[in-house]
Amino acid sequence: MSYTVLKYLVEKNRQPNNTQKEPGPVVTISRQMGCPGNRVTNLLVQELNQRYCLKGESQWNGLAKEKIEQIAAERLGLPKEEIDYVFEAKRKGAMEEILHSMSTKYYKSDQRIQNTVKGVIRMEAEKGRVVILGRGGVAITRDIPRSLHIQVEAPFEWRVLRVEEMYHFDNKSAQLYVNEIDKKREAMRVYFGGKGTDYTRFDLTFNAMTLSVKEIVDIIIYTMEVRKLID
């Protein structure tokens, strides 16, 4: 073997392998109860596909509770109802684990279900072109460089009024409901990210009382352009 050929092979082996696709891009959207998280997610996916997806390219997709439950249930061979408690950020106690394992053929441990749900979210995030709504998405994907993390919030009183309108609650019931759901959503981020971590910090926070859904989406897209998550 000639010196030139040998040198070429050595240099080639030294070069980094760039064929592996970098994870992302992924956008996560977290929201306080009463804020339009679903509408922001749906419009963002729609606008990204209309503006930035050429024919033949993979589309942007939304990923929310229902789809995550479906994929996780299929992986575990469980009815979707069996993993729903994970989305309520609940943990079974030791005795409940034992009783549940004795009472159902579908039993899977709390830790295995948690890991499966995290795995589903992480897998979809790494594939890229996905907008993840809630489910602790920010805690699970915060370390992906090609990611953007959004929080949609609004004053408590404004959110209570929206819940009154949406669910026909009286004011007191609406206040209790808003507080309950806010706590569950925060617990979800802690559940998947760990207490006291920095993974629940957001890149952008929007006030849904003063900004329309379209304005929020336009600002998100502009930020994605600046961050080179889209081109």
Q: Which CATH number belongs to the domain containing residue 34 in this structure?
A: 3.40.50.300
List, as own/partner pairs, every contact residues 50-53 make where C-beta atoms lie below 8 angstroms and the sequence separation is at least 24, other chains included: 51/221, 52/230, 52/231
Please report the beta strands in the chain, taking only residues with DSSP state E, as ranges in sequence order. 26-31, 61-63, 130-133, 147-153, 204-207
Number of domains in the chain: 1
Instruction: Check residue 189 and give its pLDDT.
Output: 78
- 174 lies in some domain: yes
Instruction: Check residue 106 and give its pLDDT.
Output: 43
- 2 lies in some domain: no
Q: Please, are residues 148 and 223 in contact by the beta-carbon 8 Å criterion?
A: yes
- 13 lies in some domain: no
- 12 lies in some domain: no
Q: Could you read off the pLDDT tens digit of each residue along the chain, which spans 231 residues?
A: 555 544 444 454 444 444 567 999 999 999 999 999 999 999 999 999 999 987 678 899 999 988 998 999 999 888 887 777 666 645 444 444 444 444 444 445 677 888 898 999 999 999 999 999 988 899 899 999 999 999 999 999 999 999 999 999 999 999 999 999 999 888 877 777 766 666 557 999 999 999 999 999 999 999 999 999 997
- 208 lies in some domain: yes
Range of the domain at 162: 23-226
The C-alpha angle 205, 206, 211, rounded to 5 degrees, equals: 170
Rounded Cα distance, 173 and 167, in Å: 10
- 34 lies in some domain: yes
- 9 lies in some domain: no
- 17 lies in some domain: no
Instruction: Check residue 103 and give its pLDDT.
Output: 46
Tokens of 179: 């507080």
Instruction: Check residue 208 and give its pLDDT.
Output: 98
Instruction: Check residue 185 and give its pLDDT.
Output: 85
